[in-house]
C-alpha cells in the first residue's frame, strides 16, 4: 500500500516497548552498523511486530541505538520483549536492555513533514529502560499493575522500588524476568549505598543473603504444608511467621499471596531489609511452576496480620496468605 494511502493512526493511550544497545557509542562504526542491523532483524522477526504491523496497529520510533515500538494492546510489548530476549540468546555480542510503559502517545508531523510519535508514554518508557543494564526488561509500576491482572505474568514481576532519573525525579519500576528471560540481577542504579530506594543496603546485603536463603527454604517447605493443613505456623530466625490457608470454590487451591511483613525494629533502615525479605520469598515461591503467586505490588495496600484473612484472600484471589514479622538481631 502506498505511503499516502496508509491509514492514519491516532493514539491517546498506547503501550510502548523501548529498546537500545548498551555501550553502543563505544563501538566502532562497522560494529555499530552490524549490531543495529541484527537487532532490527530480530525485532522485525517477532510475531508481535509482524502481526501489529500487518494490521496497521504499530508505530515505530527509530533511534541511533535502538528504538521504540508502540502497540495498541497491553500484552503486546511484553510478548514482543520476551520474543526478542529469546532470540538474543543466539547473539551474546548484542547487549540489549528494554523498558515497557503504558501512557499517552501522540502521532505528530516533524519539521521534515514525516510522521513521528511523541508524548509522555515514549519518554517514560525510555526512562524506565535507562534504569536497567544489559539483559534487563524493566516495566513501569503503572504497566506492572495492569499486567499482574494476568495470571501468566504475575511470576515475572519483581518490584525494584524507585530509580532516580533526570532532574532528581524518581520512577517506580519493576523487573520482569523468570528462569528463561530477563536479567534477575539488581540493576547497577539500584545497588548504590546512596540510593534510598534500595531494598537492602550494601552493609546488610551479605547477612541478608544468608538469612534470606534460610527463610526462603523454610517458606518453600511451609508452602507445601499449607496446602495440606487448615492452619500452619512456624518460627524462623527472623521472628514469627504465620501461614493461614482456606478454601473457596473459584480460587485455585495452589495460590498464595505474601503480605507485607511487620517491621519490629526501631531502625528505619530495617524497612528496606523487611521489603527485601518479602521479595526474596516471592522470588523463591514464583519458581514453583504449579503455584500461582500474587505480585508484591498487589499486596502493598494490606498490612500484616489483617483482621479478616478470608476477605483479603478473596480480594487477592488466593487460597493461602503468608504473613509475618521481621526483626534484625545484633550479632
What would the DSSP string read from start to end of 1-42?
--GGGSPP---SEEEEEEEEETTGGGS-HHHHHHHHHHHHHH
Cα dihedral 193, 194, 196, 202, rounded to 10, equals 0
Q: Which residue has the higher pLDDT, 1 or 62?
A: 62
Higher-pLDDT residue of 60 and 329 is 60
Q: What is the pLDDT of residue 199?
A: 47
Q: In this predicted structure, what is the pLDDT of residue 330?
A: 53
Average pLDDT over every residue of 222-250: 40
Q: Return the pLDDT at 179.
A: 87
Checking if the pLDDT of 166 tops 60, the result is yes
Which one of 59-63, 171-175, 195-199, 252-256 scores highest in mean pLDDT?
171-175
Q: Is the pLDDT of residue 201 over 60?
A: no
CA 179 to chain CA centroid, nearest Å: 14
**pLDDT at residue 193, rounded to an integer:** 39
Residue 25 CA, chain-centre distance (Å), reads 27
Highest mean pLDDT among 54-68, 99-113, 312-326: 54-68
For residue 328, the model assigns a pLDDT of 62
Q: Supply the mean pLDDT for the chain.
A: 76
Supply the pTM of this predicted model.
0.58
For a pLDDT cut of 70, what percent of the chain falls above it?
Answer: 68
pLDDT higher than threshold 80 for residue 107 = no
The burial of 264, by beta-carbon neighbours within 10 Å (0-12 exposed, 13-18 middle, 19 or more buried), is given as: middle
Percentage of residues of the chain with pLDDT beyond 90: 34
HSE-up (13 A, CA, CB side) for residue 197: 19
The count of other CB atoms within 10 Å of the CB of residue 159 is 19
Burial class (CB in 10 A: 0-12, 13-18, 19+), 235: exposed
Domains defined along the chain, listed by start: 11-190 (3.30.70.1230), 202-326 (no CATH)
As a whole number, mean pLDDT of residues 262-285 equals 70
Tell me the pLDDT band of 112, cut-offs 50, 70 and 90: low
- Determine the 3-state secondary structure of 77 from DSSP: helix
The 10s digit of each residue's pLDDT in 38-48 is 999 999 999 99
pLDDT at 251 over 50: yes
- pLDDT category of residue 327 using cuts at 50, 70 and 90: low
Task: Specify the pairing of strand 137-140 against strand 170-176.
Answer: antiparallel
- Residue 227: the pLDDT is 37
Beta bridge partners, 97, equal 20
At 39 the pLDDT is: 95
Q: Which of 75-84, 89-98, 137-146, 314-323 has the lowest mean pLDDT?
A: 314-323
Compute the Cα dihedral for 85, 89, 93, 95 and give only its sign.
positive
Amino acid at each position: 500500500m502506498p505511503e499516502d494511502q496508509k491509514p492514519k493512526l491516532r493514539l491517546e493511550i498506547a503501550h510502548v516497548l523501548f529498546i537500545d544497545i548498551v555501550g553502543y557509542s563505544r563501538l566502532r562504526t562497522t560494529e555499530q552498523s552490524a549490531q543495529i542491523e541484527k537487532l532490527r532483524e530480530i525485532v522485525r522477526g517477532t510475531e508481535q511486530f509482524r502481526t501489529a504491523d500487518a494490521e496497521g496497529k504499530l508505530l515505530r520510533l527509530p533511534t541511533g541505538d535502538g528504538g521504540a515500538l508502540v502497540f495498541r494492546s497491553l500484552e503486546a510489548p511484553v510478548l514482543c520483549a520476551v520474543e526478542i530476549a529469546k532470540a538474543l540468546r543466539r547473539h551474546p555480542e548484542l547487549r540489549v536492555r528494554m523498558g515497557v510503559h503504558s501512557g499517552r502517545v501522540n502521532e505528530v508531523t516533524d519539521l521534515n513533514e514525516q510522521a513521528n510519535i511523541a508524548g509522555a508514554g515514549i519518554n517514560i518508557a525510555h526512562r524506565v529502560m535507562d534504569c536497567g543494564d544489559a539483559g534487563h526488561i524493566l516495566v513501569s509500576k503503572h504497566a506492572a499493575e495492569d499486567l499482574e491482572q494476568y495470571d501468566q505474568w504475575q511470576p515475572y514481576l519483581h518490584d525494584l522500588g524507585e530509580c532516580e532519573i533526570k532532574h532528581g525525579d524518581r520512577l517506580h519500576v519493576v523487573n520482569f524476568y523468570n528462569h528463561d528471560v530477563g536479567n534477575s540481577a539488581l540493576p547497577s542504579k539500584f545497588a548504590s549505598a546512596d540510593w534510598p530506594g534500595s531494598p537492602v543496603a550494601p552493609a546488610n546485603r551479605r547477612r541478608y543473603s544468608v538469612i534470606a536463603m534460610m527463610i526462603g527454604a523454610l517458606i518453600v517447605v511451609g508452602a507445601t504444608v499449607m496446602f495440606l493443613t487448615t492452619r500452619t505456623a512456624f518460627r524462623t530466625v527472623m521472628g514469627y511467621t504465620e501461614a493461614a490457608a482456606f478454601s473457596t470454590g473459584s480460587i485455585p487451591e495452589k495460590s498464595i499471596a505474601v503480605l507485607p511483613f511487620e517491621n519490629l525494629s526501631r531502625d528505619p533502615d530495617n524497612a528496606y531489609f523487611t521489603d527485601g525479605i518479602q521479595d526474596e520469598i516471592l522470588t523463591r515461591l514464583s519458581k514453583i511452576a504449579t503455584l500461582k503467586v500474587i505480585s508484591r505490588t498487589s499486596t502493598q495496600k494490606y498490612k500484616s496480620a489483617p483482621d479478616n484473612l478470608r476477605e483479603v484472600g478473596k480480594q487477592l484471589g488466593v487460597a493461602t496468605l503468608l504473613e509475618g514479622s521481621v526483626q534484625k538481631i545484633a550479632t
